[in-house]
Structure 1
C-alpha cells in the first residue's frame, strides 16, 4: 500500500510542475504577442481609430474655416444633410456608380478568367494583358482615358469620324460622364479581379469536369453548375472588396470629371473632399464621412447576411 501511494504521488508532482511550466509559457506568449502587436496597434490607433473618433466628434459641432469646433449642434448636421436635395442626389449617384462598377467588374473578370483558364496556344499572353492594369497608377489611368474620351483626337472621336457618326463629348454630358467614370473604374479594377478569379478557377478539381464530360454536360452547364459554385467563396470576396472600394473611389473622379458636369459624378467621397477643402465646412464633411461609413457597413452586412448563404465552402 505504501509503495502504491508513493508512486501515485510522483505523477501528481509532475502534473503540477507541468501546469506551472505551461502557465509560464502562456505568460511569455502574451508578452511576445504584445511586443509584436504593439506597433500595429499604435499605427491603427493613430491613423484609424483616433481620426474616426475625431471625425465623429467634429460632426456634432459647427466649425470655423480652420476646423476648430465652435457651437455644439448635436445631430443638427446630420438632419441638414438628410433633408438636403443635393446630398440625396449625391447618395443616389454614388449607389448607381457602386452597383454598376461592381456588376461589370465581377462579370467581366469572371468571363475573362474563364476564357484564360482554357488550354489554348498563346493564352499566357492574354493572361498578361488582362492583368496589366494592376501595375497602372490612378494618375496614368486618368490621363490615358482622358485622351481616349477627347472629342477631337480621342479613340471614340476617331471611330465616330471613321463611320460618319456624330462625335459625342463624353465628359460634358451628365449621362455619358457617369458612364465614362464607370468604364475607367472597371478597367482599373479588372486586373485584380481577373487574377483572383483565375486562381480560383484553376484550383477547381479536373475530376469534376471529367465526370461532367462523361455525362455529356455542355460547357455552359459545367460553368454554371461546377465552376461558379466551386469558386463562390472567391466571388463573394471579390464582390465585397469591389463594393467597398467603389464607395471610396476618389482619384479618377477628381482627375477626369471633378464631380461634374452639373454634379452628375459628385460621389459622396468627392463631396466630402469639396466641402472640407474647398468650402472649409469641416463639420458638414465630417458628418458626411460618418454617413458614408455607416452606408458601407450596412451594405457589407447585407452581403454577409444574404449572399454568404449561397456560398459553398
Structure 2
C-alpha cells in the first residue's frame, strides 16, 4: 500500500499570513486619508472642546486655570442659558413635526401619476438648492413691516400689521416658519424617493380587495415608508438643534433673547464675549442633549420601523 505524503509545506501558512497582512495594509491605506480628516476636523475639536470646558480661558482661548465643574454649574443656574435652552427646545418642537408632515403631504401629492407632475416636484424641491443666507434674506423681506408681503396678506384679511421679527412673542415662530420652508426641499426629496420604492403591486392588491385610500395609507404606505420617516425625523431633529445661519441673519438672537438658541449663544460667548470656557461647556451640554435624544429616538422609534 503506497504511503501517503503527509508533509506540509512550512511556507504556506506564512504566505497566507503575508497576503492577509498586505491586504489589511492596503485597506488601511485607502481609509487613512478619511481617518486623518476625521481626526483633524472632528475628533480633535471635540476632545479640545471637552478639555476647555473645564478651564477658565483668556480671550484667545488658552486655558488659565482649572475650573472643574464651575462652567457647567454657572450655566445651569444662569437665567440666560435656561432661556436659550427653552428657545432651542421650542424651536425644535416648532420645526421638526410640522416640517416632516408638510414634506410628507407634498411627497404624497407629487407621487401621483398625473400629467405635468414633474413641474411640481421641481417646485417642491427647489428650496434645497438655496443657501441659508439667500433664503434668510428672502424671509427678511417677507417679514419687513413696511414692504413685506406677510403684512399685505394680513391686511387683506382685515388684520393689523405685525412686527414678526421684532416682537418677542412672534420672533421664534417666524424664524421657525422660515426654517421649515428652507428644509422642506430636502425632506420632500427623501420622502418622495421612499414612496417611489414601495412596490406598486401592494396598492393594486389593496384596490382589488376594495379597501379605502386611508386604510391603504395606514396599513401600506406608513409601514413601508417607516425607515425613511425614521431617518428624516432623526436628521431633521439634529439639524434643528444646530440651526444658526437664519437666526444670525434674521434676529441675531433677539428680541430680548427670544431666539437666542444654544448654538447662537455658543457663538456669542466664543466670538463676541471671548469666553471660550463657557462656550465649550455649552457645546458639551448641547452635544449630550442631542446624543441622549437621538438614543431615545432610536430605542423608541426603531420598534415601529418596518424593514422589508
TM range (shorter): over 0.9
User: How much does 1:99 deviate?
Assistant: 2.2
* 1:58 matched residue in structure 2: 52
* 2:279 matched residue in structure 1: 285
- SS in structure 1 of the partner of residue 158 of structure 2: coil
Q: 2-side partners of 1:39 and 1:98: how far apart?
A: 35
- SS in structure 2 of the partner of residue 217 of structure 1: coil
User: How much does 1:21 deviate?
Assistant: 4.2
Q: 1-side partners of 2:15 and 2:219: how far apart?
A: 54
Q: 1-side partners of 2:40 and 2:196: how far apart?
A: 41
User: How much does 1:68 deviate?
Assistant: 1.7
Residue 71 of structure 1 pairs with residue 71 of structure 2: no
* 2:216 matched residue in structure 1: 222
Q: 1-side partners of 2:73 and 2:248: how far apart?
A: 27
What CA deviation, in whole Å up to 9, does each residue of 1:104-133 have, x standing for no partner?
111111111111111112111100000001
Residue 198 of structure 1 pairs with residue 170 of structure 2: no
* 1:235 matched residue in structure 2: 229
Q: 2-side partners of 1:148 and 1:106: how far apart?
A: 23
Residues 262-273 of structure 1: matches in 2 within 5 Å?
262-273=256-267
What CA deviation, in whole Å up to 9, does each residue of 1:278-310 have, x standing for no partner?
111111001001101101101110111110111
* 2:24 matched residue in structure 1: 30
Range with greater deviation from structure 2 (260-269 or 35-44):
35-44
Q: 1-side partners of 2:67 and 2:148: how far apart?
A: 50
Q: 2-side partners of 1:24 and 1:238: how far apart?
A: 45
Residue 209 of structure 1 pairs with residue 203 of structure 2: yes
What CA deviation, in whole Å up to 9, does each residue of 1:129-170 have, x standing for no partner?
000011101110011000111111111122223333201110
Residues 183-194 of structure 1: matches in 2 within 5 Å?
183-194=177-188
Q: 2-side partners of 1:107 and 1:22: how far apart?
A: 56
Range with greater deviation from structure 2 (224-233 or 93-102):
93-102
* 1:312 matched residue in structure 2: 306
* 2:157 matched residue in structure 1: 163
Residue 133 of structure 1 pairs with residue 127 of structure 2: yes
- SS in structure 2 of the partner of residue 2 of structure 1: coil
Gaps of 5+ in 1: none
- SS in structure 2 of the partner of residue 246 of structure 1: helix
User: How much does 1:177 deviate?
Assistant: 0.8
Q: 2-side partners of 1:230 and 1:177: how far apart?
A: 38
* 1:181 matched residue in structure 2: 175
Residue 2 of structure 1 pairs with residue 2 of structure 2: yes
What is the aligned counterpart of 2:118 among 109, 113, 124? 124
* 2:137 matched residue in structure 1: 143
TM-score between the two structures when normalised by the length of structure 1:
0.94
User: How much does 1:186 deviate?
Assistant: 0.8
What CA deviation, in whole Å up to 9, does each residue of 1:199-256 have, x standing for no partner?
1101111111011111111111111110010010111111100111111100000000
Q: 2-side partners of 1:205 and 1:21: how far apart?
A: 49
CA contact (8 A) 2:94 2:173 kept: no
User: How much does 1:20 deviate?
Assistant: 4.2
- SS in structure 2 of the partner of residue 71 of structure 1: strand
Q: 1-side partners of 2:60 and 2:167: how far apart?
A: 36
Which 4+ residue blocks in structure 1 deviate beyond 4 angstroms? 16-21
